[in-house]
Structure 1
């Protein structure tokens, strides 16, 4: 019997729930990946809440020490041939990753980085940052979520060392058309309450719709981030949207799926600088929803303009309101865009496609000299 090749995964696992941690959860739970390779896992996430991300604390420092000890144990006792690392590209977590990569290099372990965030290009002109980027990426392979994201790493990574792997998500059995409210069009926002995800941009767009006399319902779902539920309520009151907008807090499992199923339009006007490939857009397409978002990160690879949805200028509430109005007042367009988005999801973004492609990439890197 041929021994399986050993792959160590340094990844993010919930909590908190966000794109990278969900992908990490999918990888760890994959029968295909775990059967294909001899796998070991270390959770890199030190934050347990969304609003703790990016902050330095004693608990995080202790967590970093534990992570280093766990990595040393894996390197000494299990001797992986390849390490998959969900690399953080900026901030304190990047320099934690530098320490981990130093150990991987010391033990001669091949490395492949899965980039779920960006920001390298913004920092590459600073000599201090540039030095460590060169150290990290030298001799490594990189997985990007979309071709457009290559410009973020092109200074440090030759294109031959890059693979493109869009995110994938599990398929859900819900039947959308059976439970939709046909009377009032429901606009859904589902993400953590972070200002740069476009929460206030969307509220301003909804206020414009209300002033124009357009009837709609707005539903906001997600955990509190740099916007609290009280702050959201204050904004809703400020825009006089109390009768149109509701905030439901966090929703998981069947409750989350139900929210997608009763929605008619998905709006995600993000301007988050590190946005790469939001899983929530894939979830919306899976539920046959037309989507409106921005040209941040790899989003233009997901949304086909005027086919599966619309891409609007970042921080432009008027442009967002105009596209929402188009969809609210054109039921056949909503249905057509939703259907084409559903088809695109099943063609490109299922979890099976993701897992198979990731296995191919890992095998290719393992075979390299």
Structure 2
């Protein structure tokens, strides 16, 4: 039996640069469509050209927004095409999205919002007009794609569960040779050296680098012989300087390495040399962070927080440990537990690697999109 799918799909989303979760996944969606033999028409909705611009407003960005909305309308091919739209919940970007969705509806596109952030109920709570716009944006949708089952609660007032598809994020496997020096399930071959904890994310206050270092200080107070790596691009120099000062405090002096932004082979090397990955995020739009998946692909146990879909992404006790908050003492308790038990560390390492290989590879991602496209094609 031949599986029916659309031959051509519009994708409206931003691709790198800058590099952030949804732009990376826009590229991976294009790769998945190519893998499935589906032609893609990309309309790049890039409004920011650097990490520093994200979240801010300017006359220049307003001009880019106007040109983007105009491009969307002109890019729609004839014949009611399927359009996968990266819908945002940040207020300014959401207003632009509503204008673009209106243009798409006027051209009879069949819209499938693809949601990478949590916060639509917060957006709707801003007032009556915002509630109407959120309801309208989902009302024009044919289907909705979310990253995890728990993300449905954010859109439940406007979206019927039967029209929702769950397509978790995915990351490619480590490059050839990147796991050299690690056991089959990812833990370090050298059991005599100090435990190495890695934090890797943008140095944004909501992403938890400071909480990581404060937890590291708790660990040192408890007598743990360990090293701590902080990797990520700075977006707030005052905050980054505060991190440097904390890293040089007496309890942490000589035990913390701050690398700045790291990419490519250097990034893989950091994951390879680490024993445990820690991501204590409190980011308000956190959903299904790629950094946790990257750590799992290297077989690293993940210690993270109860934000967005993280508890289902990293099952507690199977692939990592989930803290109820990013309070440093709570994080330190979990870090100490993993560092002091080789048996627990090995079990979580094995679970992380196995879960990645079963659920979060590019192949698994493409197969889930095959189901979405097949269902949308038949519904149309």
Cα 1:359–1:325 shift into 2, 3 Å:
same
Partner of 1:57: 58
**Residues 262-271 or 64-73, more deviating:** 64-73
Partner of 1:93: 93
- Where in structure 2 are the equivalents of 1:348-367 lying within 5 Å? 348-367=359-378
- In the alignment, structure 1 residue 279 sits paired with structure 2 residue 281: no
Query: Structure 2 CA distance, aligned partners of 1:293 and 1:199?
Result: 12
Query: Structure 2 CA distance, aligned partners of 1:155 and 1:3?
Result: 30
Query: Which of 240, 251, 254 is equivalent to 1:243?
Result: 254
Deviations 1:268-315 (A, max 9, x none): 011111100011111111111111001101001111212221101223
Partner of 2:345: 334
SS in 1 for 2:87: coil
Residue 162 of structure 1 deviates from its aligned partner by: 0.7
- In the alignment, structure 1 residue 192 sits paired with structure 2 residue 202: yes
Partner of 2:231: 221
Unaligned runs of 5+ in 2: 183-187
SS in 2 for 1:189: strand
Query: Structure 1 CA distance, aligned partners of 2:357 and 2:43?
Result: 31
Determine if contact 1:8/1:80 at 8 Å carries over to the other structure.
no
Query: Which of 10, 14, 36 is equivalent to 1:12?
Result: 14
Deviations 1:108-129 (A, max 9, x none): 1100011000111123232111
Determine if contact 1:50/1:192 at 8 Å carries over to the other structure.
no
Partner of 2:157: 155
- Where in structure 2 are the equivalents of 1:282-361 lying within 5 Å? 282-361=293-372
Residue 46 of structure 1 deviates from its aligned partner by: 1.6
- Where in structure 2 are the equivalents of 1:86-165 lying within 5 Å? 86-125=86-125, 126-140=127-141, 141-165=143-167
Root-mean-square deviation (Å): 2.0
Query: Structure 2 CA distance, aligned partners of 1:320 and 1:190?
Result: 16
Deviations 1:48-68 (A, max 9, x none): 222321100122112112212
Query: Structure 2 CA distance, aligned partners of 1:318 and 1:230?
Result: 23
Determine if contact 1:171/1:350 at 8 Å carries over to the other structure.
yes
SS in 1 for 2:112: strand
Unaligned runs of 5+ in 1: none
Determine if contact 1:187/1:263 at 8 Å carries over to the other structure.
yes
Q: TM-score, normalised by structure 1?
A: 0.94
SS in 2 for 1:305: coil
Query: Which of 17, 21, 24 is equivalent to 1:22?
Result: 24
**Residues 20-29 or 202-211, more deviating:** 20-29
Query: Structure 1 CA distance, aligned partners of 2:34 and 2:78?
Result: 18
Determine if contact 1:7/1:38 at 8 Å carries over to the other structure.
yes
Partner of 1:67: 68
**Residues 299-308 or 341-350, more deviating:** 299-308
Determine if contact 1:81/1:110 at 8 Å carries over to the other structure.
yes
Query: Structure 1 CA distance, aligned partners of 2:57 and 2:296?
Result: 36
- In the alignment, structure 1 residue 266 sits paired with structure 2 residue 277: yes
Query: Structure 1 CA distance, aligned partners of 2:14 and 2:202?
Result: 17
Determine if contact 2:6/2:373 at 8 Å carries over to the other structure.
no
Query: Structure 1 CA distance, aligned partners of 2:5 and 2:92?
Result: 38
Deviations 1:81-101 (A, max 9, x none): 111111002310000000000
Deviations 1:332-361 (A, max 9, x none): 211111011100111111111101211320
**Residues 358-367 or 328-337, more deviating:** 358-367
Count of residue pairs the alignment pairs up: 366
Deviations 1:7-43 (A, max 9, x none): 110112112212111111112234x536532311022
Query: Structure 1 CA distance, aligned partners of 2:253 and 2:115?
Result: 40
Partner of 1:37: 38
